[in-house]
Chain A
Amino acid sequence: MNLIEVRNINKYFYQPTKMQVLTDVSLDIEKGHFVSITGKSGSGKSTLLYLLSTMDTASEGSIRINGEEMQGKRNRWLADFRNHHIGFVFQFHYLLPEFSVLRNVMLPALKLARYAPEEIEHRAMDLLKLLGVDVQASKRASLLSGGQQQRVAIARALINEPLIIMGDEPTGNLDSQNAAIVFDLFRQLSSERGQTILTVTHDDDFAQRSDKVIHLVDGKIAN
């Protein structure tokens, strides 16, 4: 079953001059796969990821996620969709520095409000335990090391049991040891939980070990 279906995407940048970033991109991603998007800088891989993330809406073509067309939807609807179905892990961790680790993980779930706050706290603790950072739960997010922060970010991405986890170079800012830990976590989530994972990466080693690689050259898929 295809979780993501992309058909004939064209994307332009208008600053400083009009430039085509993605040309006629079509792809399918199956549920439970661990997919990497690779390519040189400027090949359009991040642009593709952010189009799939529903945060960027200005493109031609069709993007269907879980059977729903993303094009032409309103901001509020898309925000709600992200909240339900997409978890993000970024290169620069991006935790909210004033909040505690536990609170950071809880936020997307509090927004979703599917469960009561006590239940959410319980689930967040379980995830922190799974990722081995439960000891840090009550600390302020800004006090953690890079590797720990990235693991908290993954816990936050998982809290709403999303269809897809999207990563923008999730290991790009980590040392090799932490990068290996994060990669193993993704691998584990994909194989054990059937979690669909889509990451942009520079790391060839990382890409080689994923289920599928989408390689972009100058805004086109090269296979």
Chain B
Amino acid sequence: MKIFTNIKLAATIAFTHMRARLKQTVIATAGVTFGITVFIFMVSFIQGSNDFVQAVAFEQSPHLRLYNEIQTASSNVLDRAQPGTINMVSHVKPKDILLSLKDGPQIVQALQQDPRVAAVSGSVSSQVFYRLGSSSINGTINGIRFEQENALFNLQAKLVDGSFRELSTLPNSIVVGVGLAKRLNVKTGDHLEVTTEKGNNFSVKVVGIFKTGLTDIDKQQSYASLNTVQRFLEVPVSYITDIKIKLHDMELAPAMSKELQAKYSFHGSDWKQDNSALLEGDALRKMIVYGVAVTILLVAGFGIFNILTMMIYEKMKDIAILKAMGFSDADIRWIFLIQALIIGITGALMGLVFGFLAAYGISKMPYKSDVMITLDHLPVSFSAVYYVTGFTFGILTTTLAGYLPSRKAAGVDPITILRG
């Protein structure tokens, strides 16, 4: 109880000191407020953009993907025929392997039973040429079962014209990306030619146009039904080249990728691998935000440090007299520490409010982008974590900035001052 009344008394003295130096106190508080405001504003905005870009990218990339890849043979035929001797074979050609996944349709069915899996889609993808008149554009055609693929990528929402439904009812029909349609100058209902790697030509009808927002995909990709693409490639109905999986918990993807690769001996990749550059960029941007915020808070901290240090020089006599009255070193330390804490807490709280208002303000700002079609306002994140972090940051800096001068005040020798 004694400690409590001591601190309360120290607080009333601190308040009197601050009232007497209202202008300096307000400026110091404003410094902290500004630091926290900028931190909250920047981190909300950057995190919002990160989240948005991630959402767009991840919508186009499955959590988990199984496929086959052309590989260099790990051993040559001579080594296998004559082990133990030194064999030289130069320029070994890549192994001729089928890109199809063995037992693909059965595996798709098995994965559908897996409780971790939210949706799974088997598809065929192949390089093709799209031709119309004299123009010939290289791209990818995806043979899909619409229901399965839609469950993974929400294709329906990306359709800007026509319909996906006709893919399964109308043979030789495709849905093309908006960029591709523009380059070929086709619209829904038009015909164009598709040439496969083997040189076969097919006339197809455009039944729809989609836009994902990712230029790379929109410029060269098209969808057709699984059967259509299998027929183009002259392969059996069991031929699929990709199994794409959506999980209930996307964090499980890397572990599950390893498990499935071992089980089926396919290649696999997960969203973390596929988007490593994007994720790395996010981490770097966040580091920059923290860097800027820490710098601003350090400057604010120096402000508090200066003001308190100056005040202590001014108040040497007061400190000496308080000590003579019977205030202990700890009481004196509290007087100055409390001033720093009041500046810190007030500044940090005001910073949170202003930061929120600024973030809310720009989240209402209309923003149109050709690339990001689903965006109509600036993306802003309102995650509580950043408010907690910002507040903690503010308090820590100001406490530290106040602690050093307050220790100095506590160490003042009253005799040297009272003797004059």
Report Cα–Cα, A108/B328, bound state, in Å: 12
The reply to whether B20 and A107 form a contact with Cβ atoms under 8 Å apart is: no
The reply to whether B329 and A83 form a contact with Cβ atoms under 8 Å apart is: no
The reply to whether B318 and A80 form a contact with Cβ atoms under 8 Å apart is: no
Q: What is the total number of residues of chain B having a CB less than 8 Å from a CB of chain A?
A: 27
Partner of B326, one of A97, A108, A168: A108
Minimum CB–CB distance for A2 against chain B, Å = 23
The reply to whether B324 and A76 form a contact with Cβ atoms under 8 Å apart is: no
Partner of A110, one of B9, B17, B20, B323: B9
Cβ of B2 under 8 Å from chain A: yes
Report Cα–Cα, A113/B331, bound state, in Å: 14
Report Cα–Cα, A140/B390, bound state, in Å: 40
Residues of A155-172 at the interface with B, using a CB-CB cut-off of 8 Å, are 156, 168
Q: Is the interface of B mostly helix, strand, loop or mixed?
A: helix
Residue among B5, B328, B420 facing the most chain A CB atoms (10 A cut-off): B328
Partner of B20, one of A75, A84, A91, A98: A98
The reply to whether A55 and B321 form a contact with Cβ atoms under 8 Å apart is: no
The reply to whether A75 and B16 form a contact with Cβ atoms under 8 Å apart is: no
The reply to whether B326 and A55 form a contact with Cβ atoms under 8 Å apart is: no
The reply to whether A80 and B328 form a contact with Cβ atoms under 8 Å apart is: yes
The reply to whether B329 and A75 form a contact with Cβ atoms under 8 Å apart is: yes
The reply to whether A98 and B19 form a contact with Cβ atoms under 8 Å apart is: yes
Cβ of A56 under 8 Å from chain B: yes
**With contacts defined as CB atoms under 8 Å apart, how many contacts are there between chain A and chain B in the complex?**
74
Residues A80 and B326 in contact in the complex (CB < 8 Å), given A46-B419, A98-B19, A111-B9: yes
Residue among B20, B326, B415 facing the most chain A CB atoms (10 A cut-off): B326
Residues of B326-341 at the interface with A, using a CB-CB cut-off of 8 Å, are 326-331
Contacts of A46 in B (CB 8 A): 419
Partner of B325, one of A56, A75, A76, A111: A111
Cβ of B317 under 8 Å from chain A: yes
Minimum CB–CB distance for A21 against chain B, Å = 12
The reply to whether B418 and A76 form a contact with Cβ atoms under 8 Å apart is: no
Cβ of A143 under 8 Å from chain B: no
Task: Name the CB-closest residue of A to B418.
Answer: A90
Contacts of A112 in B (CB 8 A): 326
The reply to whether B324 and A88 form a contact with Cβ atoms under 8 Å apart is: yes
Contacts of A83 in B (CB 8 A): 325-327
Minimum CB–CB distance for A159 against chain B, Å = 9
Q: What is the total number of residues of chain A having a CB less than 8 Å from a CB of chain B?
A: 33
Q: Which of A's residues lie within 8 Å of B, judged by CB?
A: 46, 50, 53, 55-56, 75-76, 79-84, 86, 88, 90-92, 94-99, 103, 107-108, 110-113, 156, 168
Q: Which of B's residues lie within 8 Å of A, judged by CB?
A: 2, 5-6, 9, 16-17, 19-20, 317-318, 320-331, 414-415, 418-420
Which 10 pairs, one residue from A and one from B, show the smallest C-beta to C-beta distance? A83-B326, A79-B328, A98-B20, A82-B326, A108-B325, A94-B321, A76-B328, A88-B324, A113-B5, A50-B415
Partner of A55, one of B19, B317, B323: B323
Task: Name the CB-closest residue of A to B6.
Answer: A111
Minimum CB–CB distance for A54 against chain B, Å = 10
The reply to whether B418 and A168 form a contact with Cβ atoms under 8 Å apart is: yes
Task: Name the CB-closest residue of B to A82.
Answer: B326
Contacts of B2 in A (CB 8 A): 113
Residues A76 and B330 in contact in the complex (CB < 8 Å), given A46-B419, A91-B420, A92-B420: yes
Kindly list 20 other residue pairs between chains A and B, CB separation below 8 angstroms, not including A83-B327, A88-B325, A98-B20.
A50-B415, A55-B414, A56-B415, A76-B329, A79-B323, A80-B328, A82-B325, A83-B325, A88-B321, A96-B318, A96-B322, A98-B19, A99-B16, A107-B9, A107-B322, A111-B9, A111-B326, A111-B331, A113-B5, A156-B325
Minimum CB–CB distance for A22 against chain B, Å = 14
Contacts of B19 in A (CB 8 A): 98
Task: Name the CB-closest residue of B to A75.
Answer: B329
Contacts of B325 in A (CB 8 A): 82-83, 88, 107-108, 111, 156
Minimum CB–CB distance for B7 against chain A, Å = 12
Contacts of A110 in B (CB 8 A): 9
Contacts of A79 in B (CB 8 A): 323, 326-329, 331
Contacts of B330 in A (CB 8 A): 76
Task: Name the CB-closest residue of A to B1.
Answer: A113
Task: Name the CB-closest residue of A to B320.
Answer: A94
The reply to whether B328 and A55 form a contact with Cβ atoms under 8 Å apart is: no
Residues A55 and B16 in contact in the complex (CB < 8 Å), given A96-B318, A111-B327: no
Minimum CB–CB distance for A106 against chain B, Å = 10
10 chain-A/chain-B pairs, Cβ below 8 angstroms: A50-B419, A55-B415, A56-B415, A75-B329, A94-B320, A95-B321, A98-B19, A107-B322, A107-B325, A111-B325
Task: Name the CB-closest residue of B to A100.
Answer: B16
Partner of B324, one of A75, A82, A99: A82
Partner of A94, one of B20, B317, B328: B317
Contacts of B323 in A (CB 8 A): 55, 79
Contacts of A84 in B (CB 8 A): 326
Contacts of A88 in B (CB 8 A): 321, 324-325
Contacts of B329 in A (CB 8 A): 75-76, 79
Report Cα–Cα, A121/B324, bound state, in Å: 21
Contacts of B326 in A (CB 8 A): 79-84, 86, 108, 111-112
The reply to whether B418 and A94 form a contact with Cβ atoms under 8 Å apart is: yes
Contacts of A108 in B (CB 8 A): 325-326
Report Cα–Cα, A55/B412, bound state, in Å: 11
Contacts of B6 in A (CB 8 A): 111
Contacts of B317 in A (CB 8 A): 94
